Structure 1
């Protein structure tokens, strides 16, 4: 339910050198035993001195996110491609009502000081990731509440507040969380988290506020198990915005995938 510092400093180990990796041309209809999985392809693709990936002999791909796009363009997405899971409480989905999910009001504390506008912008762009997935989802910024932006302010559903901690970059809550915990807390390290942009970090956290769990708690990840209190909305996705990369994730930029969008629609509708 929180992005840890190890997430922000995600996997930097060099991939094994294997210049001769071959995958089929675009238009291939199936992935058989002769075609590497994305994980195998990424592991066998040469990583250059500047961290880029070399494909087609001498073409550079800047990062894992772009490498995944390159792979998908050639062979099509692996199956299953879609993945998102929802938290459950006593066997029931932990989600907002249809009326509430369309009015997720929040404030941004003025205690962010000179970073206040940056947080406002990052929250808006992080929220837009989910809003673009489902028209039912609407995060509403209430600037008039910023001066008294705490969980005690009943003019908003949740607050966005600064915190000083070495334990996490940001943390959020689930719909079922008690009122006193319905806030998004952000440490200053969000501005220095390498490939993790504030937009994607807050997109991940806002995924929790919608009820979505860490994708890596699923058995397919093979590590980072949390608990079994979740229901699958779609099949497993190692590149999900809700999947920590150091937990056998296949994306290192915490970006939203088509899989995540499909999961949002599955829970809240188009």
Structure 2
């Protein structure tokens, strides 16, 4: 989530949480009539690969393999999304969400590898989760402390792990419900503790929004910048202050707090 970090390849933009390459949609104005759109080979070569081999796109979203990366690229340079807000990720046209039973039992552990910061991460995860739990009584993130000593994606006693990472590429990243099991984790860099108005609670609240299936709000055409792709369905009107909207992508909130429109979107997808 580094506002100061930039990545230059064709039409690109620095984005919160990670460095992200943003390709303009077909028909979007560019300085050279869209000739600045990178080839797939250029895009793939520039995309950050994380510690587990996944590709990180759109700032803090995970793609498991090259096939998914190619599909992502082709959809990004395809037709622009209609102007029709919190928005949910879609996979083959279907909402990328947990079932009613699953969303009420989203278990996780917090790795003891955080050392002296372990309790701080536990507390930040709890408060970030509480933002979504307060919005919908159907959502329940369940902390399983007994799994902390073996807190990896291989530990099947929990749905996902929360682990430390050392990287200059992002502050934190998460996953979608459709992400492969081996990459269902939340990774946190130590810079989360020095991110100014972006508190650990709101940073992790944003990441847990992805875990619930919610996309970056700024990929909607109303943002006017930071287009990502067309794989989403609107749940509310566009919200430039959404917890899922990067401030530097024409967002109007500087602290990533949750809005009443976010709450409406959660209820629309999971119920009150």
Calculate the TM-score normalised by the size of structure 1.
0.71
Query: Does the 8 Å CA contact 1:171/1:205 hold for their aligned counterparts?
Result: yes
The match for 1:235 is 237
Which secondary structure state, in structure 1, belongs to the residue aligned with residue 88 of structure 2? strand
The Cα of 1:5 is off from its aligned counterpart by 4.6
Query: Which of residues 148, 151, 159 in structure 2 aligns to 1:149?
Result: 151
Gaps of 5+ in 2: 5-14, 18-84
Q: Distance in 2 between matches of 1:133 and 1:139?
A: 13
Which secondary structure state, in structure 2, belongs to the residue aligned with residue 235 of structure 1? coil
Gaps of 5+ in 1: 10-82
The match for 1:174 is 176
The Cα of 1:139 is off from its aligned counterpart by 0.1
Which secondary structure state, in structure 2, belongs to the residue aligned with residue 185 of structure 1? strand
Residues matched between the structures, number: 195
Q: Distance in 2 between matches of 1:8 and 1:131?
A: 24
The Cα of 1:8 is off from its aligned counterpart by 6.1
Query: Does the 8 Å CA contact 2:2/2:16 hold for their aligned counterparts?
Result: yes
Query: Structure 1 runs of 4+ off > 4 angstroms?
Result: 4-9
The Cα of 1:4 is off from its aligned counterpart by 4.2
The match for 1:112 is 114
The match for 1:262 is 264
1:212 counterpart = 2:234: no
Calculate the TM-score normalised by the size of structure 2.
0.70
1:91 counterpart = 2:98: no
Cα 1:4/1:173, change in 2 over 3 Å:
farther
Q: Distance in 1 between matches of 2:16 and 2:93?
A: 32
Query: Does the 8 Å CA contact 1:237/1:259 hold for their aligned counterparts?
Result: yes
The match for 2:11 is none
Query: Which of residues 122, 128, 131 in structure 2 aligns to 1:129?
Result: 131
The Cα of 1:94 is off from its aligned counterpart by 0.1
Which secondary structure state, in structure 2, belongs to the residue aligned with residue 237 of structure 1? coil
The match for 1:197 is 199
Superposition RMSD in Å: 1.2
Query: Does the 8 Å CA contact 1:8/1:196 hold for their aligned counterparts?
Result: no
Query: Does the 8 Å CA contact 2:224/2:250 hold for their aligned counterparts?
Result: yes
Please show how residues 62-77 of structure 1 align to structure 2 within 5 Å: none
Q: Distance in 1 between matches of 2:209 and 2:98?
A: 12
